[in-house]
């Protein structure tokens, strides 16, 4: 049991070292570069780059388009996934479009 735990801890440490740590290091370097604290042309701390980026209309148009695409993907995914999940679990048969189609075929084929 203890060898399994130590193996789990080793796996978690290995994941953190190989996957998480490089991402955090690159984000830190990008932040230092953006504030002018590192890089080839650095001259010390400045907010000029951030100011010039957030005052252009292209950046705000890009942010708006990104939000629009994200909202469209969420709505489309939820519209497709929720009925499929209802069909798969069988918890809400009325929400399942497959069940409604089967019900309408069987009710129309039965003699009155």
| Ranges of H-type helices in the chain | 2-15, 21-34, 48-54, 57-89, 97-109
Residue 35 clears pLDDT 60, i.e. is over it = yes
Share of the chain above pLDDT 90, in %: 35
Three-state DSSP state, 2: helix
- Say if residue 88 is in the same domain as residue 108: yes
The mean pLDDT value of the chain amounts to: 82
- Say if residue 108 is in the same domain as residue 68: yes
- Total number of domains constituting the chain: 2
Domain boundary among 53, 70, 90: 53
Q: pLDDT tens digits, residue range 42-62? A: 888 888 878 888 898 999 999
Q: Where are the beta strands (DSSP E) in the chain?
A: none
Residue 40 clears pLDDT 70, i.e. is over it = yes
CA–CA gap between residue 112 and residue 108 (Å, rounded): 9
Give the pLDDT of residue 5.
83
- Say if residue 79 is in the same domain as residue 41: no
Q: pLDDT tens digits, residue range 62-97? A: 999 999 999 999 999 999 888 888 777 766 656 566
- Say if residue 29 is in the same domain as residue 76: no
């Amino acid at each position: 049991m203890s060898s399994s735990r130590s193996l789990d801890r080793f796996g978690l440490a290995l994941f953190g070292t190989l996957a998480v740590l490089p991402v955090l290091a690159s984000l830190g370097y990008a932040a230092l570069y953006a504030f002018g604290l590192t890089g080839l042309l650095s001259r010390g701390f400045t907010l000029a780059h951030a100011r010039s980026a957030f005052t252009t209309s292209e950046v705000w148009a890009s942010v708006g388009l990104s939000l629009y695409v994200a909202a469209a993907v969420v709505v489309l995914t939820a519209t497709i996934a929720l009925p499929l999940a209802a069909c798969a679990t069988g918890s809400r048969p009325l929400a399942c479009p497959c069940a409604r189609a089967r019900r309408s075929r069987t009710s129309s084929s039965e003699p009155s």
